[in-house]
Amino acid sequence: GAVVSQHPSWVICKSGTSVKIECRSLDFQATTMFWYRQFPKQSLMLMATSNEGSKATYEQGVEKDKFLINHASLTLSTLTVTSAHPEDSSFYICSAWDSSNYGYTFGSGTRLTVV
């Protein structure tokens, strides 16, 4: 079945630095990818929708200059958390739409801790 590989699984970074999270669709082409953030004991909140070759569409309240999304190819989307702060510590998870089976495939998530 469709697989989305997300790396890293976890990362600890210092406040003020930037962190890049990658999501790759391994056996299908993902025209559209979604990025979610999940705080402890909360639901998944959609941050942005990225379409290959175009600018991402951010949800209301999400700072596009802080959360940079790049979807340069049909198999790779990246989320860069710039100038990370402790309040950015969260679980980030990506999802890709697989048109071949009409389903969303999720990455395994990245646990970001900013110290």
**Which parts of this chain interact with another protein (CB under 8 A)?**
31-32, 34, 41-46, 49, 51, 91, 93, 95, 97, 99, 102-104, 106, 108-109, 111
Whole-number Cα distances in Å, 5 to 13, 65, 85: 21, 25, 25
Provide the β-strand partners of residue 110.
92
- In the complex, what is the shortest distance from the CB of residue 92 to another protein, in angstroms, rounded to a whole number? 10
**Which of residues 14 and 43 has its CB atom nearest to another protein in the complex?**
43
- In the complex, what is the shortest distance from the CB of residue 1 to another protein, in angstroms, rounded to a whole number? 9
- Coil, strand or helix at 46: strand
**Which of residues 31 and 80 has its CB atom nearest to another protein in the complex?**
31
Give the burial class of 95: count Cβ atoms within 10 A of its Cβ; 0-12 exposed, 13-18 middle, 19 or more buried.
Answer: buried
- In the complex, what is the shortest distance from the CB of residue 108 to another protein, in angstroms, rounded to a whole number? 5
